[in-house]
Amino acid sequence: MSPDYTGLFQALRPETSLLFGALVALGLDLSLFRRHTSGERLNLALWIGALAVLAAGAHVWFGPHGPIFGGVLILDPLAVATRLGVLALTLLTLGVATAARTPRNPAEYVAIILFATTGFMLMAAAQQLLLAFLALELASLSLYVLAGFDKTRPESAEAALKYFLFGGMAAAFLLFGFSLIYGLTGSIELLEIARQLTLQGLSPLLVVALVMVLVAFGFKAAAAPFHLWAPDVYEGAPTPSAAFIASASKLAGFTLFARLLWPGLRAAAGNVSTLHGAPGWLPAVAVISAVSLLLGNFAALAQTNVRRLLAYSAIAHAGALLLGVIAAGRSGPAPFFFYAATYGLATVGAFGVLAVVERTGSCQKITDLAGLHRRSPLLAGCLAIFMLSLAGIPPLAGFFGKFTVFAAALQLGGLAGPAGWLAFLAIALSALALYYYLIVLKQALVAPPTANASRIVVPTLARFTLMAAAGLIVLFGVAPSLLLDLF
């Protein structure tokens, strides 16, 4: 059978658009726009990037479906939904970048965001270990650079180094785990691996491979106890980079994780629905989920830095998302996808607000947001929507995300097994989470502004971005079927 290159090129049109956009942005910046100010160069690059993202979105929407290139890529509803979600979050990140401080090399900044997006797009569709690893590394390497882009600031350099060291370690674990899986099954295709594992059952070597893969994904998803890089990266990275790392990479990462675990390693899943479950990766994921929920929520209570608070809340959300991955075996990927997509929207929005506030001075402490309702009612209103959505208040999208994930987890076996208890724990901790989100909102909506605080002028594009994110959150909260109908 000769490989179907035409089909491959057609399926990879979105990725091609993104790469083309990145190369055009770099090329124009080097040639025609060399003498322009860095602000103008940033604007040009951002517009080219936005066009490339929109073109990629059209290609995803109208593009082919089903297995591509002999099953190396799979364009099923989950892949298409994740690709669209990643593109939307990238577009919002580019919008946030219009408000943030201009980076030293604007065209390179946008180009690397587009490269990372290409990686996410491939992660969303990869159905083969090698491609999955390459896509993950393309995305990760770009994210390390984005975290350290403001390299003259020590915090940014520190964030990049920590992220790189932890990420490199995780990549090594992942590759080791993949190589063991390949050794056991003789294949790198997920469907073939699944077939082989059904015949073999749970061997000691497979347990080692599963542990390696879970550790690696724990690092990448910032799930406790592999979360140590997250607070420093969120704190030190340039604001648009932090928004990107917190949103699009989470969505693509969890899609890849769920695809690897459920169709690929389903035979080694085990059982957590009943009291006396079976061994497999499900119990391990359940433990990681519980630790993330507990550690993320309790550590967030003690934070005085708003970015570190968002980081610990991200760890807690990773725990809830892992619960969604556990439930995906029975309910399909729709619940955790909805959760991850709406979580990404709210996080990009929250970092967008921080980026705009940062234009008038530092915005690290929670008290830096004091009196935001006087300084800019629009920012305060948007921040309220994002924070309340993260906390899971109806009618915002965060509520419905939590609802679908917890409902799916409870359907696994009610309160008869660890999955149900985990859902119960997550519900209880959501109440706790509301407290620290309200601490932020109290500063923004109630506390008076400090004496020397001035009004904040929100740039047009940033205003449009924030309103789009807030609007989408309200829309998906009121009409969740808009997203769920993609499946």
Binding site for other proteins (CB under 8 A): 2-3, 5-6, 8-9, 19, 23, 26-27, 30, 204
Report residue 35 as tokens: 């003498």
Element containing residue 68 per DSSP (H, E)? strand 66-68
Give 448: exposed, middle or buried? Use CB within 10 Å, 0-12, 13-18, 19+.
exposed
- Cβ 314 to other proteins, closest distance in Å? 33
For other proteins, the closer of residues 106 and 381 by Cβ is 106
Residue 459 makes CB contacts below 8 A (sequence gap 6+) with: 98, 99, 356
For other proteins, the closer of residues 5 and 62 by Cβ is 5
Residue 455 DSSP one-character state: P
The candidate with the shortest Cα–Cα distance to 18, out of 111, 108, 103, 83, is 111
Residue 285 makes CB contacts below 8 A (sequence gap 6+) with: 214, 261, 322, 325, 326
For other proteins, the closer of residues 9 and 61 by Cβ is 9
- Cβ 40 to other proteins, closest distance in Å? 18
- Cβ 199 to other proteins, closest distance in Å? 18
What's the distance, Cα to Cα, between the start and end of the chain in Å?
31
For other proteins, the closer of residues 27 and 283 by Cβ is 27
- Cβ 177 to other proteins, closest distance in Å? 17
For other proteins, the closer of residues 29 and 368 by Cβ is 29
For other proteins, the closer of residues 24 and 474 by Cβ is 24
Strand partners, 48: none
For other proteins, the closer of residues 44 and 357 by Cβ is 44
- Cβ 10 to other proteins, closest distance in Å? 11
**240, 93 in Cβ contact below 8 A?**
yes
Residue with tokens 């124009």: 28
**20 phi and psi angles, rounded to 5 deg:** -60, -45
CA distances from 31 to 23, 25, 36, 104, 107 (A): 12, 10, 11, 17, 12
The candidate with the shortest Cα–Cα distance to 363, out of 239, 233, 458, 232, is 239
- Cβ 283 to other proteins, closest distance in Å? 22
Torsion 390-245-287-82 (CA) sign: positive
- Cβ 5 to other proteins, closest distance in Å? 2
Residue 337 makes CB contacts below 8 A (sequence gap 6+) with: 78, 81, 82, 85, 251, 255, 483, 487
CA distances from 87 to 8, 307, 423 (A): 20, 24, 30
**273 phi and psi angles, rounded to 5 deg:** -80, -25
For other proteins, the closer of residues 36 and 359 by Cβ is 36
For other proteins, the closer of residues 19 and 46 by Cβ is 19
For other proteins, the closer of residues 6 and 152 by Cβ is 6
Q: Residue 281: what residue type?
A: W
Residue 376 DSSP one-character state: -
- Cβ 3 to other proteins, closest distance in Å? 7
For other proteins, the closer of residues 3 and 186 by Cβ is 3
**How do strand 73-75 and strand 66-68 relate by DSSP bridges?**
antiparallel
- Cβ 47 to other proteins, closest distance in Å? 20
The C-alpha angle with vertex 230 and arms to 334 and 293, in degrees rounded to 5, equals 55
- Cβ 338 to other proteins, closest distance in Å? 35
- Cβ 237 to other proteins, closest distance in Å? 23
Element containing residue 98 per DSSP (H, E)? helix 77-99
- Cβ 1 to other proteins, closest distance in Å? 11
For other proteins, the closer of residues 30 and 475 by Cβ is 30
